[in-house]
Amino acid sequence: MSHATATKTAAKKPAKKKVSAFSTRKVDPAYYWMVVPAAIIFAFFLYLPFLDGDLCTFLIAILITVLINVIALFLSVLLNSKIAFKNGFRAIFFIPYTLSVLVIGYVFKYIFMNPLPELGKALGIKWLSTSLLTNEQLSWIPIV
């Protein structure tokens, strides 16, 4: 590129944008310092009657979240530290998870062995009057 062409391209001025009357209008900054806080305070007082329940819910959610994380951190440090009875603490931590499955199994076994056949007999439903767990054709129902 020659020197003359470089000067011509540099000398071109960009076209002016059209600006609306609203964007060129000057607004006193004090207007914002008075109106915006007043609108926020007005909106807060409109919301105040509903704030009691929301505030309580918010505080409980924050408190529970913090407490759960503190307890989880304590348990993780306890289960991974070099202390006596570490395996005992792990067992205590995981026993409720294993026992719940066992208890649910016993509850369903009881329901399908005793009360359900009695209900079937009382209602006159032949296929329900025998235990579903002992009937070879119907044993898939409690399993599914």
> What does the alpha-carbon distance between residue 144 and residue 133 come to, in Å, rounded to a whole number?
12
> What does the alpha-carbon distance between residue 115 and residue 128 come to, in Å, rounded to a whole number?
10
Q: Which of 129, 135, 133, 134 is nearest to 105 (CA)?
A: 133
Give the predicted TM-score (pTM) of the model.
0.36
In terms of DSSP H, where are the helices of 12-85? 21-24, 29-80
Domain ranges of the chain: 32-81, 87-144
Q: 80-137: per-residue pLDDT in tens? A: 888 888 888 888 878 888 888 889 888 888 887 888 888 888 898 888 888 877 778 8
